[in-house]
Amino acid sequence: MRETSYHAILTEMTVRALWETQNVIDCIPNELWQKTYGGAPLWQHVYHMLHALDQWFINPRADDFIEPPIHTPRLQDLAIYPAVRLSRRQLDEYLYTIKAKLSLYLTALHDEDLLQRPDRCEWTRLTLILAQYRHLHRHLGMLMGFVLAETGLCPRTLALGEEIPRGPYDPYA
C-alpha cells in the first residue's frame, strides 16, 4: 500500500472499499434480491448505499449533481417502499459509474484540498470522505448480515495489506 500522502491513502482505501462493495453485492443470492428487510427490498438497501456514496463523497450540495438514469424521486429513502424494481445489472452499472467518478475525483485530489470545503458545503472534503466510509460500511455490514443469516456464508472483506484478488477467488470469508 502506498502511504506517501493522505490522498494516496484515501485513494487506496476507497479502491479497497469499492472492491468489497462489489463483492458483497455479488454474494447476494438472487432469491434475496426482492426480499424485504426493515420495510425495504434488499436491492433498495443497495441502491440507498450507492446513492449516498455517489451524492455525498464529493459534495452533497453540488448544483451539478446528476441523478443516475435509474433514479426516481426518493428511491434512496428506505422509509418509502419503491414503486419500481431495480435489477442487479442496473445496480452493477451504477456502481461502475460511481467507481469511475470517484477515481477521477481522487486522482485530481491533493493533500491540501482535504481540509477545504467544497462550494456551498459545510463539511471539508476529508470529512465527507470519512463520513461515506462510515455510511458505506454500515450498510455493507447489514447486507453481509442478511447474506450470512440466509445462506450461512459471509462475504469476504480484505485485511489491511491483503492484495485485491485478481482472477478467480473465493467470494466468502
Mean pLDDT, the chain, integer: 97
Compute the average pLDDT of residues 27-54: 98
DSSP states along 100-158: HHHHHHHHH--GGGTTSPPTT-SS-HHHHHHHHHHHHHHHHHHHHHHHHHHHS--B--P
User: Can you give the pTM of this predicted structure?
Assistant: 0.96
pLDDT in tens, 96-126: 999 999 999 999 999 999 999 999 999 999 9
Determine if residue 108 is left, alpha or beta; phi over 0 gives left, psi from -120 to 50 gives alpha, anything else beta. Answer: alpha
Give me the sign of the Cα torsion angle 24, 29, 30, 33.
negative
All structural domains of the chain: 6-151 (1.20.120.450)
Reported as a pLDDT band with limits 50, 70 and 90, residue 23 is: very high
